[in-house]
Chain A
Amino acid sequence: MTDDDRDLLAGEALGTLSRDDAAHVAALVAKDGEAAAELEAHRVTVAALEAGVARERPSADLFDRVLAEIEPVAAVHRRPAWRWSPRLATAGLAAAAAVVLGVVVLSDGRGEPDARAAVAGTLEFAGVSGEAALYGSELVLELENVPAPPSGHHYEVWVLRTEANGAMEAVGAFTPDDEDARLEFRLPGPGDYRAVDVSVEPDGGPAEHSNVSLAGGKFDS
Protein backbone atom coordinates (compact mmCIF):
# COMPACT_ATOMS: atom_id res chain seq x y z
CA MET A 1 0.00 0.00 0.00
CA THR A 2 1.49 3.34 -1.04
CA ASP A 3 1.19 6.69 0.71
CA ASP A 4 -1.15 7.78 -2.06
CA ASP A 5 -3.32 4.74 -1.33
CA ARG A 6 -3.44 5.74 2.32
CA ASP A 7 -4.52 9.26 1.36
CA LEU A 8 -7.27 7.84 -0.85
CA LEU A 9 -8.58 5.64 1.97
CA ALA A 10 -9.16 8.74 4.07
CA GLY A 11 -10.95 10.41 1.17
CA GLU A 12 -13.10 7.32 0.65
CA ALA A 13 -14.18 7.40 4.32
CA LEU A 14 -15.28 11.00 3.84
CA GLY A 15 -16.95 10.20 0.52
CA THR A 16 -15.02 12.83 -1.38
CA LEU A 17 -13.23 10.73 -4.00
CA SER A 18 -13.74 10.91 -7.72
CA ARG A 19 -15.34 7.86 -9.35
CA ASP A 20 -11.97 6.59 -10.61
CA ASP A 21 -10.29 6.96 -7.23
CA ALA A 22 -13.23 5.28 -5.49
CA ALA A 23 -12.94 2.34 -7.89
CA HIS A 24 -9.22 2.13 -7.13
CA VAL A 25 -9.91 2.04 -3.41
CA ALA A 26 -12.59 -0.64 -3.85
CA ALA A 27 -10.12 -2.85 -5.67
CA LEU A 28 -7.44 -2.15 -3.07
CA VAL A 29 -9.49 -3.06 -0.01
CA ALA A 30 -10.80 -6.19 -1.74
CA LYS A 31 -7.29 -7.60 -1.92
CA ASP A 32 -5.49 -5.91 0.99
CA GLY A 33 -6.65 -6.58 4.52
CA GLU A 34 -4.46 -3.82 5.94
CA ALA A 35 -6.11 -1.31 3.60
CA ALA A 36 -9.56 -2.59 4.55
CA ALA A 37 -8.75 -2.19 8.23
CA GLU A 38 -7.43 1.33 7.71
CA LEU A 39 -10.54 2.31 5.76
CA GLU A 40 -12.72 0.96 8.56
CA ALA A 41 -10.72 2.94 11.13
CA HIS A 42 -11.26 6.12 9.12
CA ARG A 43 -14.97 5.34 8.85
CA VAL A 44 -15.20 5.01 12.62
CA THR A 45 -13.62 8.44 12.95
CA VAL A 46 -16.03 9.97 10.44
CA ALA A 47 -18.96 8.32 12.22
CA ALA A 48 -17.78 9.88 15.49
CA LEU A 49 -17.73 13.26 13.77
CA GLU A 50 -21.23 12.76 12.45
CA ALA A 51 -22.50 11.77 15.91
CA GLY A 52 -21.58 15.16 17.29
CA VAL A 53 -21.51 17.61 14.41
CA ALA A 54 -24.01 17.45 11.58
CA ARG A 55 -22.61 17.33 8.08
CA GLU A 56 -24.41 20.49 7.11
CA ARG A 57 -23.34 24.00 6.29
CA PRO A 58 -25.23 27.21 7.04
CA SER A 59 -26.70 29.38 4.30
CA ALA A 60 -24.27 31.59 2.43
CA ASP A 61 -25.98 34.76 3.66
CA LEU A 62 -25.84 33.95 7.36
CA PHE A 63 -22.90 36.22 8.07
CA ASP A 64 -24.72 39.06 6.31
CA ARG A 65 -27.58 38.49 8.75
CA VAL A 66 -25.12 38.74 11.63
CA LEU A 67 -23.78 42.02 10.25
CA ALA A 68 -27.29 43.35 9.74
CA GLU A 69 -28.00 42.70 13.39
CA ILE A 70 -24.85 44.25 14.78
CA GLU A 71 -24.49 47.24 12.49
CA PRO A 72 -27.57 49.13 13.70
CA VAL A 73 -26.44 48.52 17.27
CA ALA A 74 -22.97 49.78 16.50
CA ALA A 75 -24.41 52.82 14.77
CA VAL A 76 -26.60 53.59 17.75
CA HIS A 77 -23.62 53.05 20.04
CA ARG A 78 -22.02 56.16 18.67
CA ARG A 79 -24.97 58.14 20.02
CA PRO A 80 -24.70 56.00 22.47
CA ALA A 81 -26.86 52.87 22.82
CA TRP A 82 -27.31 52.87 26.59
CA ARG A 83 -28.15 55.89 28.68
CA TRP A 84 -28.72 56.26 32.34
CA SER A 85 -31.95 57.80 33.49
CA PRO A 86 -31.90 59.54 36.84
CA ARG A 87 -35.43 58.50 37.63
CA LEU A 88 -36.03 55.75 40.09
CA ALA A 89 -38.39 53.00 39.13
CA THR A 90 -40.56 50.75 41.17
CA ALA A 91 -39.60 47.13 41.17
CA GLY A 92 -41.41 44.71 38.96
CA LEU A 93 -43.95 42.02 39.38
CA ALA A 94 -41.76 39.57 41.21
CA ALA A 95 -39.40 42.16 42.56
CA ALA A 96 -41.64 44.43 44.53
CA ALA A 97 -39.22 44.57 47.42
CA ALA A 98 -36.07 45.11 45.41
CA VAL A 99 -34.26 48.41 45.41
CA VAL A 100 -33.85 49.91 41.97
CA LEU A 101 -30.80 52.07 41.55
CA GLY A 102 -31.41 53.25 38.04
CA VAL A 103 -33.04 52.51 34.76
CA VAL A 104 -31.27 51.51 31.61
CA VAL A 105 -33.08 52.84 28.60
CA LEU A 106 -33.18 50.64 25.55
CA SER A 107 -32.40 52.19 22.25
CA ASP A 108 -31.42 49.79 19.51
CA GLY A 109 -32.66 51.32 16.30
CA ARG A 110 -36.16 49.86 16.41
CA GLY A 111 -37.73 53.19 17.23
CA GLU A 112 -39.84 53.81 20.26
CA PRO A 113 -41.22 50.69 21.93
CA ASP A 114 -44.92 50.23 22.58
CA ALA A 115 -44.18 49.89 26.28
CA ARG A 116 -41.21 49.67 28.61
CA ALA A 117 -40.61 48.04 31.96
CA ALA A 118 -37.78 48.72 34.35
CA VAL A 119 -36.55 45.30 35.45
CA ALA A 120 -35.05 44.74 38.87
CA GLY A 121 -33.80 41.70 40.71
CA THR A 122 -35.63 40.14 43.58
CA LEU A 123 -34.13 40.38 47.05
CA GLU A 124 -32.06 37.28 46.45
CA PHE A 125 -30.75 38.68 43.17
CA ALA A 126 -30.70 42.37 44.00
CA GLY A 127 -27.78 43.11 41.69
CA VAL A 128 -29.76 42.24 38.58
CA SER A 129 -31.16 45.16 36.62
CA GLY A 130 -32.22 46.06 33.12
CA GLU A 131 -35.16 46.89 30.97
CA ALA A 132 -37.84 45.15 28.93
CA ALA A 133 -39.47 46.69 25.89
CA LEU A 134 -42.39 45.64 23.71
CA TYR A 135 -42.08 46.14 19.96
CA GLY A 136 -45.18 44.85 18.20
CA SER A 137 -45.08 41.08 18.57
CA GLU A 138 -41.63 41.03 20.19
CA LEU A 139 -40.26 41.40 23.67
CA VAL A 140 -36.69 42.68 24.00
CA LEU A 141 -35.14 42.10 27.39
CA GLU A 142 -31.77 43.44 28.43
CA LEU A 143 -30.31 42.44 31.76
CA GLU A 144 -27.14 43.29 33.62
CA ASN A 145 -25.32 41.45 36.40
CA VAL A 146 -27.10 38.18 35.73
CA PRO A 147 -25.52 35.36 37.75
CA ALA A 148 -25.07 31.91 36.26
CA PRO A 149 -28.13 29.82 37.15
CA PRO A 150 -27.69 27.16 39.83
CA SER A 151 -26.49 23.80 38.56
CA GLY A 152 -29.31 21.93 36.83
CA HIS A 153 -31.35 25.10 36.38
CA HIS A 154 -31.93 27.73 33.74
CA TYR A 155 -33.87 30.97 33.45
CA GLU A 156 -37.32 31.30 31.90
CA VAL A 157 -38.97 34.52 30.75
CA TRP A 158 -42.67 35.03 31.36
CA VAL A 159 -45.18 37.71 30.51
CA LEU A 160 -48.48 38.63 32.03
CA ARG A 161 -51.26 40.10 29.92
CA THR A 162 -54.75 41.14 30.83
CA GLU A 163 -56.26 38.68 28.38
CA ALA A 164 -54.65 35.70 30.15
CA ASN A 165 -56.73 36.21 33.31
CA GLY A 166 -53.76 36.33 35.64
CA ALA A 167 -51.86 33.39 34.13
CA MET A 168 -48.18 33.87 33.38
CA GLU A 169 -47.16 32.81 29.86
CA ALA A 170 -43.67 31.51 29.10
CA VAL A 171 -41.99 33.11 26.11
CA GLY A 172 -38.58 31.46 26.26
CA ALA A 173 -35.69 30.08 28.25
CA PHE A 174 -32.11 31.18 28.41
CA THR A 175 -28.81 30.42 30.01
CA PRO A 176 -26.60 33.51 30.14
CA ASP A 177 -23.22 33.39 28.46
CA ASP A 178 -22.16 36.42 30.35
CA GLU A 179 -23.39 38.63 33.15
CA ASP A 180 -25.04 40.88 30.59
CA ALA A 181 -27.75 39.48 28.36
CA ARG A 182 -29.79 40.84 25.50
CA LEU A 183 -32.71 38.61 24.58
CA GLU A 184 -35.51 38.76 22.05
CA PHE A 185 -38.69 36.74 22.29
CA ARG A 186 -41.87 36.42 20.27
CA LEU A 187 -44.91 37.30 22.34
CA PRO A 188 -47.73 34.75 22.64
CA GLY A 189 -50.18 37.06 20.89
CA PRO A 190 -51.71 40.51 20.89
CA GLY A 191 -52.85 41.90 24.18
CA ASP A 192 -52.41 44.29 27.02
CA TYR A 193 -49.07 43.26 28.50
CA ARG A 194 -48.75 44.22 32.12
CA ALA A 195 -45.54 42.64 33.38
CA VAL A 196 -42.47 40.57 32.65
CA ASP A 197 -40.83 38.08 34.96
CA VAL A 198 -37.67 35.97 34.82
CA SER A 199 -37.86 32.77 36.82
CA VAL A 200 -35.34 30.16 37.91
CA GLU A 201 -36.46 26.79 36.56
CA PRO A 202 -35.11 23.28 37.04
CA ASP A 203 -33.91 21.65 33.82
CA GLY A 204 -36.58 19.26 32.59
CA GLY A 205 -39.05 20.58 35.14
CA PRO A 206 -42.78 21.14 34.71
CA ALA A 207 -44.14 23.82 32.38
CA GLU A 208 -45.46 25.90 35.26
CA HIS A 209 -43.67 28.83 36.89
CA SER A 210 -41.39 27.62 39.69
CA ASN A 211 -42.38 30.56 41.92
CA VAL A 212 -38.69 31.45 42.20
CA SER A 213 -37.98 34.71 40.40
CA LEU A 214 -34.72 36.27 39.37
CA ALA A 215 -36.16 39.62 38.33
CA GLY A 216 -39.26 41.30 37.02
CA GLY A 217 -40.95 44.54 36.14
CA LYS A 218 -44.23 46.20 35.23
CA PHE A 219 -44.82 47.79 31.84
CA ASP A 220 -45.81 51.36 31.63
CA SER A 221 -49.04 51.82 29.72
Chain B
Amino acid sequence: MSVLALPAIVRLVPLPDHVEDAELAGRIAAGDTDALRALYDRYSSVLFGMAYRLLGDRQLAEDCVQEVFVTVWRSAGRYDPTRAAVTTWLFTIVRNKAVDALRRRTRRRADPLPEQWSGGESPDAAEIAATAEMSESVAAALAELPPPQLEVLSLAYFDGLSHSEIAARLDVPIGTVKGRIRLALERLRTLAPKYALETETGR
Protein backbone atom coordinates (compact mmCIF):
# COMPACT_ATOMS: atom_id res chain seq x y z
CA MET B 1 0.00 0.00 0.00
CA SER B 2 1.21 3.46 -0.69
CA VAL B 3 0.46 6.83 0.76
CA LEU B 4 -2.02 8.65 -1.46
CA ALA B 5 -0.24 11.62 -2.97
CA LEU B 6 -2.42 14.71 -3.05
CA PRO B 7 -1.01 17.75 -4.80
CA ALA B 8 -0.55 20.84 -2.72
CA ILE B 9 -1.71 24.02 -4.39
CA VAL B 10 1.18 25.87 -5.93
CA ARG B 11 1.59 28.56 -8.53
CA LEU B 12 3.85 27.69 -11.43
CA VAL B 13 4.89 30.01 -14.22
CA PRO B 14 1.91 31.57 -16.01
CA LEU B 15 0.32 29.45 -18.68
CA PRO B 16 0.88 30.47 -22.29
CA ASP B 17 -2.14 30.93 -24.57
CA HIS B 18 -2.42 27.31 -25.52
CA VAL B 19 -1.02 24.39 -23.61
CA GLU B 20 -1.51 20.80 -24.69
CA ASP B 21 -3.85 18.75 -22.55
CA ALA B 22 -1.12 16.37 -21.41
CA GLU B 23 1.03 19.27 -20.23
CA LEU B 24 -1.92 20.63 -18.29
CA ALA B 25 -2.31 17.24 -16.63
CA GLY B 26 1.36 17.34 -15.66
CA ARG B 27 1.00 20.79 -14.17
CA ILE B 28 -2.10 19.72 -12.28
CA ALA B 29 -0.16 16.80 -10.85
CA ALA B 30 2.37 19.36 -9.63
CA GLY B 31 -0.40 21.27 -7.87
CA ASP B 32 -1.06 24.07 -10.37
CA THR B 33 -4.65 25.24 -10.01
CA ASP B 34 -4.24 27.55 -13.01
CA ALA B 35 -3.73 24.44 -15.12
CA LEU B 36 -6.82 22.88 -13.55
CA ARG B 37 -8.74 26.04 -14.42
CA ALA B 38 -7.47 25.88 -18.01
CA LEU B 39 -8.57 22.26 -18.35
CA TYR B 40 -11.91 23.16 -16.77
CA ASP B 41 -12.43 26.05 -19.18
CA ARG B 42 -11.60 23.80 -22.11
CA TYR B 43 -13.83 20.86 -21.29
CA SER B 44 -16.32 21.63 -18.53
CA SER B 45 -19.12 22.47 -20.97
CA VAL B 46 -18.72 19.23 -22.87
CA LEU B 47 -18.46 17.23 -19.66
CA PHE B 48 -21.48 18.98 -18.19
CA GLY B 49 -23.41 18.38 -21.43
CA MET B 50 -22.58 14.68 -21.20
CA ALA B 51 -23.62 14.45 -17.56
CA TYR B 52 -26.80 16.43 -18.15
CA ARG B 53 -27.77 14.28 -21.12
CA LEU B 54 -27.41 11.15 -19.01
CA LEU B 55 -28.83 12.45 -15.74
CA GLY B 56 -31.43 14.95 -16.96
CA ASP B 57 -30.93 16.99 -13.81
CA ARG B 58 -28.88 20.18 -13.58
CA GLN B 59 -27.88 19.78 -9.95
CA LEU B 60 -26.84 16.16 -10.36
CA ALA B 61 -24.91 17.04 -13.51
CA GLU B 62 -23.07 19.85 -11.73
CA ASP B 63 -22.26 17.57 -8.82
CA CYS B 64 -20.94 15.06 -11.33
CA VAL B 65 -18.68 17.58 -13.08
CA GLN B 66 -17.46 18.82 -9.71
CA GLU B 67 -16.51 15.26 -8.80
CA VAL B 68 -14.73 14.86 -12.13
CA PHE B 69 -12.42 17.80 -11.56
CA VAL B 70 -11.77 16.87 -7.95
CA THR B 71 -10.84 13.42 -9.20
CA VAL B 72 -8.59 14.96 -11.85
CA TRP B 73 -6.88 17.02 -9.16
CA ARG B 74 -6.31 14.03 -6.95
CA SER B 75 -5.40 11.55 -9.68
CA ALA B 76 -3.41 13.62 -12.17
CA GLY B 77 -0.16 12.19 -10.82
CA ARG B 78 -1.24 8.77 -11.97
CA TYR B 79 -2.40 9.86 -15.41
CA ASP B 80 -0.24 8.28 -18.11
CA PRO B 81 -0.36 10.21 -21.41
CA THR B 82 1.09 7.22 -23.26
CA ARG B 83 -1.98 5.13 -22.43
CA ALA B 84 -4.84 7.49 -23.25
CA ALA B 85 -5.55 11.05 -24.27
CA VAL B 86 -6.61 13.44 -21.53
CA THR B 87 -10.03 13.70 -23.16
CA THR B 88 -10.45 9.93 -23.05
CA TRP B 89 -9.54 10.02 -19.37
CA LEU B 90 -12.00 12.85 -18.67
CA PHE B 91 -14.84 11.26 -20.63
CA THR B 92 -14.34 7.96 -18.84
CA ILE B 93 -14.45 9.65 -15.45
CA VAL B 94 -17.61 11.64 -16.21
CA ARG B 95 -19.30 8.60 -17.71
CA ASN B 96 -18.53 6.50 -14.65
CA LYS B 97 -19.66 9.18 -12.23
CA ALA B 98 -22.85 9.95 -14.13
CA VAL B 99 -23.75 6.29 -14.40
CA ASP B 100 -23.06 5.84 -10.69
CA ALA B 101 -25.32 8.78 -9.87
CA LEU B 102 -28.04 7.28 -12.00
CA ARG B 103 -27.63 3.91 -10.33
CA ARG B 104 -27.93 5.56 -6.92
CA ARG B 105 -31.23 7.04 -8.04
CA THR B 106 -32.60 3.86 -9.48
CA ARG B 107 -31.62 1.85 -6.44
CA ARG B 108 -33.11 4.37 -4.04
CA ARG B 109 -36.58 3.89 -5.30
CA ALA B 110 -38.00 6.90 -3.46
CA ASP B 111 -35.99 9.28 -5.65
CA PRO B 112 -37.75 10.52 -8.78
CA LEU B 113 -36.05 9.56 -12.00
CA PRO B 114 -34.81 12.16 -14.46
CA GLU B 115 -37.24 13.15 -17.17
CA GLN B 116 -35.59 11.32 -20.02
CA TRP B 117 -36.08 8.02 -18.27
CA SER B 118 -39.78 8.68 -18.64
CA GLY B 119 -42.77 6.72 -17.44
CA GLY B 120 -41.24 5.97 -14.07
CA GLU B 121 -39.53 2.89 -15.47
CA SER B 122 -36.03 2.32 -14.22
CA PRO B 123 -33.61 2.33 -17.14
CA ASP B 124 -31.91 -0.97 -17.60
CA ALA B 125 -28.18 -1.35 -17.87
CA ALA B 126 -28.35 -1.49 -21.65
CA GLU B 127 -30.22 1.82 -21.89
CA ILE B 128 -27.80 3.53 -19.56
CA ALA B 129 -24.84 2.11 -21.45
CA ALA B 130 -26.26 3.17 -24.82
CA THR B 131 -26.86 6.74 -23.68
CA ALA B 132 -23.43 6.92 -22.08
CA GLU B 133 -21.84 5.57 -25.24
CA MET B 134 -23.58 8.16 -27.38
CA SER B 135 -22.42 10.95 -25.09
CA GLU B 136 -18.86 9.69 -25.16
CA SER B 137 -18.89 9.43 -28.95
CA VAL B 138 -20.10 12.99 -29.41
CA ALA B 139 -17.62 14.29 -26.86
CA ALA B 140 -14.78 12.39 -28.52
CA ALA B 141 -15.70 13.86 -31.88
CA LEU B 142 -15.75 17.36 -30.37
CA ALA B 143 -12.34 16.72 -28.86
CA GLU B 144 -10.93 16.11 -32.34
CA LEU B 145 -11.74 19.66 -33.41
CA PRO B 146 -8.82 22.08 -33.55
CA PRO B 147 -8.93 24.19 -30.36
CA PRO B 148 -9.94 27.44 -32.13
CA GLN B 149 -12.91 25.68 -33.75
CA LEU B 150 -13.93 23.96 -30.54
CA GLU B 151 -13.78 27.29 -28.74
CA VAL B 152 -16.16 29.11 -31.07
CA LEU B 153 -18.45 26.13 -31.45
CA SER B 154 -18.70 25.82 -27.65
CA LEU B 155 -19.59 29.48 -27.30
CA ALA B 156 -22.27 29.10 -29.95
CA TYR B 157 -23.59 25.70 -28.89
CA PHE B 158 -23.41 25.82 -25.10
CA ASP B 159 -23.66 29.56 -24.48
CA GLY B 160 -25.96 30.37 -27.36
CA LEU B 161 -23.87 33.39 -28.30
CA SER B 162 -24.35 35.02 -31.69
CA HIS B 163 -21.54 35.44 -34.20
CA SER B 164 -21.04 39.05 -33.19
CA GLU B 165 -21.08 38.22 -29.48
CA ILE B 166 -18.46 35.51 -29.98
CA ALA B 167 -16.33 37.89 -32.04
CA ALA B 168 -16.48 40.46 -29.26
CA ARG B 169 -15.74 37.86 -26.59
CA LEU B 170 -12.68 36.53 -28.41
CA ASP B 171 -11.64 39.79 -29.99
CA VAL B 172 -11.47 38.32 -33.47
CA PRO B 173 -13.18 39.42 -36.72
CA ILE B 174 -16.74 38.21 -37.13
CA GLY B 175 -15.78 36.57 -40.40
CA THR B 176 -13.29 34.42 -38.51
CA VAL B 177 -16.01 33.30 -36.13
CA LYS B 178 -18.40 32.41 -38.95
CA GLY B 179 -15.75 30.48 -40.81
CA ARG B 180 -14.60 28.53 -37.75
CA ILE B 181 -18.16 27.50 -36.92
CA ARG B 182 -18.75 26.25 -40.45
CA LEU B 183 -15.45 24.38 -40.48
CA ALA B 184 -16.27 22.84 -37.09
CA LEU B 185 -19.64 21.54 -38.29
CA GLU B 186 -18.11 20.25 -41.51
CA ARG B 187 -15.36 18.50 -39.56
CA LEU B 188 -17.92 16.90 -37.25
CA ARG B 189 -19.85 15.72 -40.28
CA THR B 190 -16.78 13.93 -41.58
CA LEU B 191 -16.18 12.41 -38.15
CA ALA B 192 -19.75 11.10 -37.85
CA PRO B 193 -19.04 7.66 -39.38
CA LYS B 194 -15.94 7.19 -37.20
CA TYR B 195 -17.91 7.81 -34.02
CA ALA B 196 -21.21 6.34 -35.23
CA LEU B 197 -22.97 9.62 -34.62
CA GLU B 198 -26.65 9.82 -35.44
CA THR B 199 -27.15 11.03 -38.98
CA GLU B 200 -30.90 11.58 -39.00
CA THR B 201 -32.68 14.61 -37.60
CA GLY B 202 -35.80 12.64 -36.91
CA ARG B 203 -37.90 15.28 -38.57
Q: How many residues of B contact A (CB 8 A)?
A: 84
B58 and A56 contact, CB distance less than 8 A: yes
Determine the chain A residues whose CB is within 8 A of the CB of B109 once the complex forms: 207
Q: Please tell me which one of the listed residues A15, A47, A57 contacts residue B202 in the complex, with CB atoms under 8 A apart.
A: A47
B45 and A57 contact, CB distance less than 8 A: yes
CA distance A156 to B103 in the complex (A): 9
Determine the chain B residues whose CB is within 8 A of the CB of A17 once the complex forms: 162-163
Given the known inter-chain contacts A63-B37, A74-B6, A178-B78, please indicate yes or no for A52 contacting B134, CB distance below 8 A: yes
Stretch at the interface among A1-9, A26-34, A86-94, A212-220: A1-9
CA distance A19 to B176 in the complex (A): 20
B107 and A156 contact, CB distance less than 8 A: yes
B24 touches A (CB below 8 Å) = no
Determine the chain B residues whose CB is within 8 A of the CB of A59 once the complex forms: 62
Given the known inter-chain contacts A62-B62, A74-B9, please indicate yes or no for A53 contacting B163, CB distance below 8 A: no
Quick one: which of B124, B182, B189 has the most chain A CB within 10 A?
A: B182
B160 and A16 contact, CB distance less than 8 A: yes
Determine the chain B residues whose CB is within 8 A of the CB of A7 once the complex forms: 175, 178-179, 181-182
A172 touches B (CB below 8 Å) = yes
Determine the chain A residues whose CB is within 8 A of the CB of B20 once the complex forms: none
B66 and A45 contact, CB distance less than 8 A: no
Select from chain B the residue with minimum beta-carbon distance to A204.
B125
Q: How many residues of A contact B (CB 8 A)?
A: 74
A182 and B74 contact, CB distance less than 8 A: yes
CA distance A58 to B41 in the complex (A): 11
Determine the chain B residues whose CB is within 8 A of the CB of A139 once the complex forms: none
Given the known inter-chain contacts A66-B66, A71-B9, please indicate yes or no for A144 contacting B201, CB distance below 8 A: no
Residue ranges of B at the interface with A (Cβ–Cβ < 8 Å): 1-4, 6-9, 31, 33, 36-37, 40, 44-46, 48-50, 52-53, 58, 61-62, 65-66, 69-71, 73-75, 78, 92-93, 96-97, 99-100, 103-104, 107-109, 124-126, 128-129, 134-139, 142, 153, 156-164, 166, 175, 178-179, 181-182, 184-186, 188-189, 192, 197-202
